[in-house]
Amino acid sequence: MVQDLSDRSQYPARNRDGTLDVDLTSGKYLKLWQGPNHPGITGNMSVELTVCGDEVVEGKTHVGYLHRGFEKLMERRTFIQCFPIVCRICVPEPDFNEYCYAAAVEELAGVEIPEQAKWIRTLILEMGRFNSLMMYLGGQSGSLGLGVIGQWTTYVRDLMLDRFEELTGARIYHMFILPGGVRDTLPEGFDARMEETLREAERTMKDVWNVMFQNAVFRKRTIGVGYINPALFDDYGVTGPTARGGGVAKDVRRDQPYLAYPDLEFEVNVARDSDIYSRADVRRRDALQSIDLIRQILAKMPRTGPVMAKMPNMLHWKIPRGETYIRGECSRGEYGFYVVTDGSGYPRRVNVRGPSYTHAMALLERLIVNCNIADVAALLVSLHTYPPEIER
Amino acid sequence: MQDLQTRLAQHTDLGEWTQQRADLAFVTVAREHLHGLLRHLRDHEGFTHLVLLTAVDWLEDGQFQLTYLMNNRAAARDIGVRVLIPREGADMDSIHDLWPTAATYQRELREMFGIDFPGSPRVDEEFILEGWRDMPPYRRDFDTLKYAQEEFAERPGRVSKDPETHMKQKLYPDGA
Amino acid sequence: MPITTVLSPFRAWKFLFQNPVTVRDPLTERPGAPRYRGFHQNDAEKCVGCGTCETICQNGAIDMIDVGLAPKDGDSGLRPRIDYGRCCWCALCVDVCMTGSLSMSNAYTWTDANADAFRFTPGVDKKPWDNDQLGYRRPEGHALHGKDRVEMAELEPEARIGTFDEIVAGYDVARARLEADRCVECGLCVATCPAHMAIPQYIKAVRDGDYERGLALLYETNPFSQVCGRVCTHKCETACAAGHEGDPIAIRWLKRHITDQVPHKDYVRIVGKPKKAAKGEAKTIAVVGAGPAGLTAAYDLARQGHKVVVYEVRKHPGGMPRYGIPEYRLPYDILDADIDVIRAMGVEIKCETRVGSDITMDELKAKNDAVILAIGLHLGRSTRIPGSDHADVRKAVDLLRQVTDEDPVDVPKSLVVIGGGNVAMDIARTMARLQMKAYGEVAVTVTALEDKAHFLADPDEIRECGEEGIDIVDARGPQEVVIDADGRVEGLRTWRVQSIFDAQGRFAPSYDESDERIHPGDMVIEAIGQAAGVDMLGEGLTEALEWNRGRIQVDADGRTSESWLWAIGDCVKGPDVVHAVADGHRAAKSILAAFEGKGDEA
């Protein structure tokens, strides 16, 4: 086990049960709640901070503000009825839920999806990644007071939502990746409009580079701040850009390729310093990579053939007993569905493994010690967490 | 993953081995072998990444299945270790000493399934549910529909008719 | 920190000189994308109220409500009402819709202060987007359930024409499950089935492989399940919701599959023993005619513990299914198996007993608490065209009976059948088989009044006739049986039919006399309909009964104007097995009610 690296010398001693010996009446310590309503928090969660001066002594993540019990709800729904609810587990990047769920039940039922459906799924996942990263860039700069970046990234995200809308019929919850394939083929003229959107996105990304990443304030506040020791990555289940910002080239798309990724060309983005800036920069390059991948997909994908496999009557669909785990690389790291079936028409158990689960709980609580209050928001956002996937 | 199975079988008593995919297998072990096996997988077989830890309720068998899923990135393979424990008074040894992040999973399992992990940090602290007084809600015998019906008011004015019954009432009420 | 990082952010100033990207005109609506999943549209005319949308909706957002439409065959009259407080816009309801009536418009902007306004019935409660052309439509070829019927193995024409072997093989277990899997359990078929069989439930039993449960369900409503599994007119399949955008479920074959899967020796155990009537409560009932109607009533009454005796004039019980339906469609042992179940309930069947001579109606009345008349339609009607009284002009029912009883039949080398219904097809195909056995070739011509588009016979029958080498000539009106100088039948002279009914819809065929043909044949067979032989009633009873256009007048339950007498089946309703079964149930119910209410009736 890695040694505790943070310097705790000037902080309270631990009680025998491991809790901190904090006497709030001493006037030395203060309890401070960041969230659940707070501009420096991502979504519906809160961090209970104990501060000494302007430094954090202890932080505890509180979730549950958005708990809907998806995993349990799915046990009461037939396999097809689970399809509309999974996307709601993660608002900004819902498609991973659809993909992982569909792929898991397909594997357990022995369904092979058509080639064109694989490519359309890949396309959707990259569009979703781009959108999620746009939200992140806006949030990360916003956490440091650069509000205008969020306006620009929201603009291009909105253009991408237009593309989602014409492809899937919805803007946020697309409900397009059905078990067995996808609902439909690409609409007429989609490629041209997508190209327009991608060009606009590239222009915006240049602005983001100039105004955010080349900004002295942003650099001052992020370089060397929020450092995660790469030695901790395995201890805390760190994946995705958070790990890649620390030099570990973890990317499921490359490590265990799925869908059309074996046929796509891309380099795994890595940075060295494992601080907020490195993580932000990896994500910025991931967004540019998504743009490139979308172009590659549209150039390479087949345009004929079915998009749905031949399926049994979905109303009576039963899947033999079994269990499996399906993972993919979402914008924040490893996303996966562990699905257990028992031969009935309902899943026996579904467990959603979102990267936020490890990043925003144990890891954040570890990193937040010794952090300056003013940096808490930037640190939290740099882990790119979406609370619904913690409480599911 | 045959090679791995052979190597593991040399020093651990393995139960059922399920090869789900070329890169994913599940294996059942007795609870007393779990800690040693996980440590071995982590330190000697490259399964350094704890992907997830969760439980499955086999209510009809009176058992919980704990699934520890681990990933070996270099070899691009996963192994899920299953441990079956009795539902009644369920508890399990903590693995937070192997992966600190496991404490979060164990805290959730404590809250959602009522499985205790003695010694796991903050395992008794409320996690997602604050002020929950009912049985652990992810147990199979917790009835979400009943809970919803008791807890929330149905919107008034809703009725639905079954087509078959409706046609019977309208067309052949006496059944002939 | 390089100086560029201080200057670089100032590039944002360029936006000062750019047009904003936001929509400037908030009053102009931005339409949803062509595939947008907005508020629902429902073609209420096309919708059949099957409720499959409600079944699949995981939010419970859909209620099937009575909007005042009268239920009819294949349409429950219910329509889906959607609660937008629950709808998640997933469109599974559109994907699963059996008729394609449900879709979604691309309308998504609508405000209303009243929350209840967001619960409405699309297509019934008019909305501005009802006729919008854009919005989510189920993509072509996309379906959540199987549209194509699982194929049924049958004998090839060459293999079947020389024999009376059963043509249809029946589903094996794997195929039956596939076919049963297509059913969406909406239950629209149940109302259409005259016997109101528990169709969705027994199809579910096929899916589950629980054939004993399936069989028990079948015999609750139909003691002729094996017979109906083969020769039912299966109107249920016409009502089937799956038939709107694909093949209807093969309900009849699935029923047959259940009966095929259970060994005959287990039937009685599964169907269950009859009740024991309380002491002194057991009544005696006489049934005249051992066809489906009479035997169904007997079955129901015997199951309630009453004593039933059935009188049958012919050698064997079974009525038209035995004497009218050829063996290649319904093997005799299948019919026997069904009748064995009925006998096992304690029903006594006295064959070769002619009511009217061996025992009179008066005697039956005197000896029994109730009497059921189920004598069927066994007298063939005649065209009464010139020459139709010739000895080689035969009636289809008589010939079919001869074949069943294995009485010798003089098989002509060629023959002409008059008629376009199923009986015409039956006799044509029966005679074709006999010709094949005797001469090695088929020479049968069927002449029908109707044109091919309005044929009365099942399409399957017509197709199979063609396969078996039978020549069907449509729209021909018989004028005369041509008899040669030696007094032998030479053929049938027909005119082309211009119309069958007059402006008032009465039967009054008109012909094109210039289009005349002679269809050669050594025999002419009339298959234009049957009548009931009511002579056995006796003069007094005939006088006492009320009549309606040549048929005994009965109420909805089959009771005649004489309170002790019920008349059911083909003789009052026209020919159909499953209708006869339904009639039997109704009469039994009515008789039981009469026993309850008024004590001793007769």
Contact state of B101 with A361 under an 8 Å Cβ cutoff: yes
For A319-378, the pLDDT digits (tens) are 999 999 999 999 999 999 999 999 999 999 999 998 988 888 888 888 888 888 888 889
Place of tokens 């990267």: A355
Contact state of C64 with B158 under an 8 Å Cβ cutoff: no
User: With the CA atoms of A239, A240, A242 and A245 taken in that order, what torsion angle do they form, in degrees rounded to the nearest 10?
Assistant: 120
Q: What is the CATH number of domain C381-530?
A: 3.50.50.60
Which residues sit opposite C79 in a β-bridge? C65
Nearest to C187 by CA among C250, C241, C253, C234: C241
pLDDT of residue A146: 87
pLDDT of residue B68: 95
For C304-336, the pLDDT digits (tens) are 889 999 999 988 999 888 988 888 889 998 899
Residue ranges, CATH 3.30.70.3270, chain C: 23-144
Pairing of strands C370-373, C565-567: parallel
Residue B5 tokens read as: 């199975």
pLDDT surpasses 70 at B176: no
pLDDT surpasses 70 at C176: yes
Would you place residue A2 in the very low, low, confident or very high pLDDT band (cuts 50, 70, 90)? very low
| Cα C216 to Cα C210: distance, rounded to the nearest angstrom | 10
Task: Say what angle helices A147-168 and A115-142 make with each other, to 10 degrees.
Answer: 160
pLDDT of residue C160: 85
Contact state of A211 with C33 under an 8 Å Cβ cutoff: no
Backbone φ and ψ for C419, nearest 5 degrees, come out as 135, 150
Range list of β-strands (E), C171-321: 284-288, 307-311
| Cα C23 to Cα C10: distance, rounded to the nearest angstrom | 26
Residues of chain C in contact with residue A210, where contact means CB-CB under 8 angstroms, are: 8-9, 11-12
How many Cα atoms within 13 Å fall on the side-chain side of residue A242? 34
Return the CA Rg of chain A: 22
Contact state of C78 with B168 under an 8 Å Cβ cutoff: no
Give the residue extent of every domain in chain A. Answer: 80-356+373-391
pLDDT surpasses 90 at C38: yes
Residue A199 tokens read as: 């060009």
Contact state of A72 with B67 under an 8 Å Cβ cutoff: no
How many helices, marked H, and strands, marked E, lie in chain C?
22, 22
Q: B114: distance to nearest CA of chain C, Å?
A: 28
Task: Name the residue among B101, B130, B145 with its Cβ closest to that of A237.
Answer: B101
Backbone φ and ψ for C83, nearest 5 degrees, come out as -100, 105
C200 touching chain B per CB within 8 A: yes
The residue among C4, C6, C15, C35 with the most chain A CBs within 10 A of its CB, best to mutate, is C35
pLDDT surpasses 60 at A3: no
Contact state of A351 with B23 under an 8 Å Cβ cutoff: no
- A8 CB-near residues (< 8 Å, 6+ apart): A369, A370
Would you place residue C1 in the very low, low, confident or very high pLDDT band (cuts 50, 70, 90)? confident
How many Cα atoms within 13 Å fall on the side-chain side of residue C38? 23
The residue among A79, A207, A311, A316 with the most chain C CBs within 10 A of its CB, best to mutate, is A316
pLDDT surpasses 80 at C26: no
For C96-128, the pLDDT digits (tens) are 999 999 999 999 888 899 988 999 999 999 999
For A232-270, the pLDDT digits (tens) are 899 898 999 999 999 999 999 999 999 999 999 999 999
Task: Name the residue among C63, C188, C191 with its Cβ closest to that of B158.
Answer: C63
Which residues sit opposite A16 in a β-bridge? none
Q: B164: distance to nearest CA of chain C, Å?
A: 5
C150 touching chain B per CB within 8 A: no
pLDDT of residue C602: 42
Determine the 3-state secondary structure of A232 from DSSP: helix
Q: C152: distance to nearest CA of chain A, Å?
A: 19
Range 299-358 of A in CB contact (< 8 A) with B: 322-325, 327, 334, 336, 338, 340, 348-349, 351, 353, 357-358
Dihedral angle sign, alpha carbons of residues A338, A344, A348, A350: positive
Task: Name the residue among B166, B167, B176 with its Cβ closest to that of C585.
Answer: B176
Range 238-277 of C in CB contact (< 8 A) with A: none
Determine the 3-state secondary structure of C508 from DSSP: strand
Residues of chain C in contact with residue A160, where contact means CB-CB under 8 angstroms, are: none
Contact between residue A339 and residue A349 where contact means Cβ atoms under 8 Å apart? yes
Nearest CA in chain A to C37: A169
- C34 CB-near residues (< 8 Å, 6+ apart): A166, A187, C106, C134, C135
Q: C170: distance to nearest CA of chain B, Å?
A: 28
| Cα A104 to Cα A353: distance, rounded to the nearest angstrom | 13
Contact between residue C373 and residue C571 where contact means Cβ atoms under 8 Å apart? yes
Q: How far is CA C344 from CA C228, C269, C290, in A?
A: 20, 10, 15
Mean pLDDT, range C551-564, rounded to an integer: 87
Mean pLDDT, range A369-391, rounded to an integer: 87
| Cα C584 to Cα C569: distance, rounded to the nearest angstrom | 7
For B34-49, the pLDDT digits (tens) are 999 999 999 999 999 9
| Cα A74 to Cα B144: distance, rounded to the nearest angstrom | 11
Pairing of strands B49-58, C40-42: unpaired
Mean pLDDT, range C549-570, rounded to an integer: 87
Element (H, E) at C597: helix C577-598
Mean pLDDT, range C562-586, rounded to an integer: 86
Q: B141: distance to nearest CA of chain A, Å?
A: 11
Contact state of A312 with C11 under an 8 Å Cβ cutoff: no
- C571 CB-near residues (< 8 Å, 6+ apart): C289, C373, C374, C375, C376, C377, C532, C534, C551, C552
Residues of chain B in contact with residue A327, where contact means CB-CB under 8 angstroms, are: 51
Element (H, E) at C435: helix C422-439
Class of domain C23-144: alpha beta
Q: What is the CATH number of domain C276-378+533-598?
A: 3.50.50.60
C136 touching chain A per CB within 8 A: yes
Nearest CA in chain A to C108: A170
Apex A98 CA angle, A93 and A101, nearest 5 = 130
Would you place residue A11 in the very low, low, confident or very high pLDDT band (cuts 50, 70, 90)? low
Mean pLDDT, range B156-170, rounded to an integer: 90
Contact state of B100 with A336 under an 8 Å Cβ cutoff: no
Mean pLDDT, range C126-137, rounded to an integer: 92
Nearest to C3 by CA among B30, A219, A123: A219
Residues of chain A in contact with residue C95, where contact means CB-CB under 8 angstroms, are: 183
pLDDT of residue C599: 45
| Cα C95 to Cα C465: distance, rounded to the nearest angstrom | 39
* Residues of B engaging C, defined by a Cβ cutoff of 8 Å: 155, 157-168, 170-172, 174-176
Contact state of C190 with B167 under an 8 Å Cβ cutoff: yes
Mean pLDDT, range C188-214, rounded to an integer: 93
Of the two residues B97 and A39, the one the predictor is more confident about is B97
- C507 CB-near residues (< 8 Å, 6+ apart): C500, C501
Contact state of B80 with A72 under an 8 Å Cβ cutoff: no
Nearest to A68 by CA among C46, B147, C470: B147
Q: A208: distance to nearest CA of chain C, Å?
A: 9
B79 touching chain A per CB within 8 A: no
pLDDT surpasses 80 at A4: no
Q: A2: distance to nearest CA of chain B, Å?
A: 10
Contact between residue C454 and residue C497 where contact means Cβ atoms under 8 Å apart? no
Q: What one-letter code names the amino acid at A118?
A: K
| Cα A335 to Cα A372: distance, rounded to the nearest angstrom | 31
Backbone φ and ψ for A241, nearest 5 degrees, come out as -60, -25
B41 touching chain A per CB within 8 A: no
Looking at domain B2-128, its CATH architecture is: 2-Layer Sandwich (3.30)
Chains B, C: CB contacts within 8 A come to 70
DSSP A247-274: T----HHHHS--TTGGGS--PPP--SS-
Residue A110 tokens read as: 């022995």
Question: Which CATH fold would you assign to the domain C157-270?
Answer: Fumarate Reductase Iron-sulfur Protein; Chain B, domain 2 (1.10.1060)
* Poorest-pLDDT segment among A313-317, C361-365, C576-580, C598-602: C598-602
C240 touching chain B per CB within 8 A: no
Contact state of B161 with C66 under an 8 Å Cβ cutoff: yes
For A94-140, the pLDDT digits (tens) are 999 999 999 999 999 999 999 999 999 999 999 999 999 999 999 99
Q: Name the percent of chain C in helix, strand, coil, to the closest 5.
A: 35, 20, 45
What is chain C's mean pLDDT, rounded? 89
Residues of chain A in contact with residue C36, where contact means CB-CB under 8 angstroms, are: 165, 169-170
Range 104-143 of B in CB contact (< 8 A) with A: 104, 121, 126-130, 137-138, 140, 142
Q: C563: distance to nearest CA of chain B, Å?
A: 20
Contact state of A187 with C34 under an 8 Å Cβ cutoff: yes
pLDDT of residue B153: 87
Element (H, E) at C544: helix C539-544
* Poorest-pLDDT segment among A80-89, C238-247, C561-570: C561-570
Contact state of C141 with A308 under an 8 Å Cβ cutoff: yes
- C84 CB-near residues (< 8 Å, 6+ apart): C39, C61, C118, C119
What is chain B's mean pLDDT, rounded? 91
* Poorest-pLDDT segment among B24-28, C180-184, C450-454, C573-577: C573-577
pLDDT of residue C600: 45
Backbone φ and ψ for A321, nearest 5 degrees, come out as -60, 135
Burial code (b: 16+ CB inside 10 Å, e: under 16) for C142-174 equals bbbbbeebbeeeeeeeeebbeebebbbebbeee
For A157-200, the pLDDT digits (tens) are 999 999 999 999 999 999 999 999 999 999 999 999 999 999 99
Of the two residues C542 and A79, the one the predictor is more confident about is A79
- Would you say domain A80-356+373-391 falls under CATH 3.30.70.3150? no
| Cα C489 to Cα C391: distance, rounded to the nearest angstrom | 9
Would you place residue A6 in the very low, low, confident or very high pLDDT band (cuts 50, 70, 90)? low
| Cα C506 to Cα C309: distance, rounded to the nearest angstrom | 42
pLDDT of residue C377: 85
- C304 CB-near residues (< 8 Å, 6+ apart): C274, C275, C277, C588, C592
